[in-house]
């Protein structure tokens, strides 16, 4: 399925947001997901289906002031 992840077009097999997170090996990391503008807490990942063309943002905390 074609998804837009962090601004880049990606082809990957995924049914839910949880699959996307696992695809990138981020399951155990403190990350946050936004799908088509909706912020998802980790408990929602398994129930959120992905659709072709969905815009997904995978973000995390970095150093900052």
Partner 1 sequence: MDTWKIGNRTLHSRFFIGTGLFPNPYVQQEAIRASGAEVLTFAIRRINLEQTEDDSILQHIEPEQFQFLPNTSGARTAEEAVRIARLARASGLSDWIKVEISANERTLLPDALETLKATEILVKEGFTVLPYISDDPIMCKRLEEAGAAAVMPGASPIGTGLGILNPYHLGLIVEEAKVPVIVDAGLGTASDVVQAMELGVSGVLMNTPVAKARDPIKMAQAMRVAIEAGRLAYLAGRIPKKKYASASSGLEAFKLS
Task: Give the binding site for partner 1 (CB under 8 A).
Answer: 5-8, 24-26, 29-34, 37, 39-42, 57-65
Residue 6 or 47: which CB sits closer to partner 1? 6
34 and 6 in contact (C-beta within 8 Å)? Answer: no
The least distance separating partner 1 from the CB of residue 37, rounded to whole angstroms, comes to 8
Residue 49 or 59: which CB sits closer to partner 1? 59
Q: List Cα–Cα distances, 37 to 7, 34, 43, 55, 65, in angstroms.
A: 13, 6, 17, 8, 26
The least distance separating partner 1 from the CB of residue 44, rounded to whole angstroms, comes to 9
Question: φ, ψ for residue 13 (rounded to 5)?
Answer: -85, 115
């Amino acid at each position: 399925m074609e998804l837009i992840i962090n601004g880049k077009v990606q082809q990957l097999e995924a049914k839910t947001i949880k699959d996307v997170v696992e695809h990138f090996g981020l399951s155990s990391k403190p990350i946050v997901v936004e799908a088509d503008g909706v912020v998802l807490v980790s408990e929602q990942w398994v129930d959120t289906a992905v659709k072709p063309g969905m815009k997904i943002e995978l973000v995390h905390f970095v150093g900052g002031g």
